[in-house]
Amino acid sequence: MTTLIDFERLEDNLPDLRNTYRTASPFDHLVIDNFLTDDGIRLLRDQGFERNASTQSRSADFIFAKNKVENPRIEEISTITRQLREELLSERFQKILSYIADLKLFVDPSFTGGGLHQGGKGSFLEMHADFTRHPSNNDWIRELNILLYLNPDYEPTWGGCLDLQHLETNEKATIAPLENRAVIMLTKPHTLHGYKPIRFPDGRFRTSIAAYAYTIDDGTRDVQYATTTWMPQNRLKRMLATFLGPLVASKQKLLGSRTARRAQR
C-alpha cells in the first residue's frame, strides 16, 4: 500500500532535519513542507473536512479559544484519515521523531487533545503552554506536537498563522498554515504558541491534524504535572487564567480530564 507520509524523503534527510530542529528559534521546532506525498495530499484533500457537529466537539478551552472544534477520532472520518492515523502511530514514524528530537518517543494513540482541529469565523487560540503529562497516563511525559496543516489555496490575508514565543527570552516566530506543511515542535512550559483571530472566507475553516509525542517517565526527570497554562495578552484574561489554572487542576484530580474522556475509544 502506498504511504501518505513521504517517509523516504524524511529518512533521506534525517541529519539535516535534526540540526534544523535543534537550532531553530525561538525554541526547538521544525517546519516540513510537502510532508505528505503528492498522492497523499490529493487523497486527503478530496475526501474533505466539512465541519460536522455529530463528529466534532467544541474545544474544552472555550474561554481562550473561540469557535474551535476538535475530533480526536480521525479514523472515523474516512479511510484516508484512518490510514494517516496508522502512519502517525507507526514504528517508522516513531523512529523519525525519535532521531530528530534525540528521545525515545511514541505518538499517543488516543490523540487526546489532538486529532482534527478546525477554526471557524473569527476563531483564535490564545498563547499557551501545553499540559506536561498525559491526563490519563501520568507516566507519559509530553515532548512534541506534530501539526499538519490542511488549508488549500491559503492566502496570507486569512490570518491564522501559528505564533511561537519563548516565555523566558520573548523571542518570537510566525509560521503560515500552508496546506501540506507539518510543524514538529517542542512542548514545554516555556514553549508558548497560539494563533490570532482568523479571516478565512465564509465556509472555509482553519484546518489541521494534531498528534502529540511522549516519552515514558523513567524516574530520572522532575516533570511536575501541569494543565494547559494560558498566557493571553489581554490583562483581564490573564488574571482569569491565573485564577482558573488551579481550579482546573483540582477538578481534573477529582473528576478526570474532559479532553481525555472525549478521546477514549
Q: Is the pLDDT of residue 229 over 80?
A: yes
- One of 2.60.120.620, 3.40.630.30, 3.40.50.2000, 3.20.20.10 is the CATH number of 7-263, namely 2.60.120.620
Q: Which of 39-43, 101-105, 132-136, 261-265 has the lowest mean pLDDT?
A: 261-265
Residue 173 region by backbone torsions, left for phi larger than 0, else alpha for psi between -120 and 50, else beta: beta
Mean pLDDT of 161-188: 98
Q: What is the pLDDT of residue 224?
A: 87
Q: How confident is the model at residue 254 (pLDDT cuts 50, 70, 90)?
A: very low
Mean pLDDT of 97-116: 97
Residue-averaged pLDDT of the chain: 88
Q: Is the pLDDT of residue 153 over 70?
A: yes
What residue spans define the domains of the chain?
A: 7-263
Please, are residues 30 and 175 in contact by the beta-carbon 8 Å criterion? no
Q: Is the pLDDT of residue 91 over 90?
A: yes
Residue of 71, 51, 17 lying closest to 209 (CA atoms): 71
Mean pLDDT of 24-39: 98
Model confidence over 127-138: pLDDT tens digits?
999 999 998 898
Other residues' Cβ atoms within 10 Å of the Cβ of residue 73? 20
Q: Is the pLDDT of residue 123 over 90?
A: yes
Percent pLDDT > 70 in the chain is: 82
Task: Give backbone dihedrals phi and psi of 37, rounded to 5 degrees, phi first.
Answer: -65, 165
Model confidence over 42-81: pLDDT tens digits?
999 998 776 654 445 655 555 677 888 899 999 999 999 9
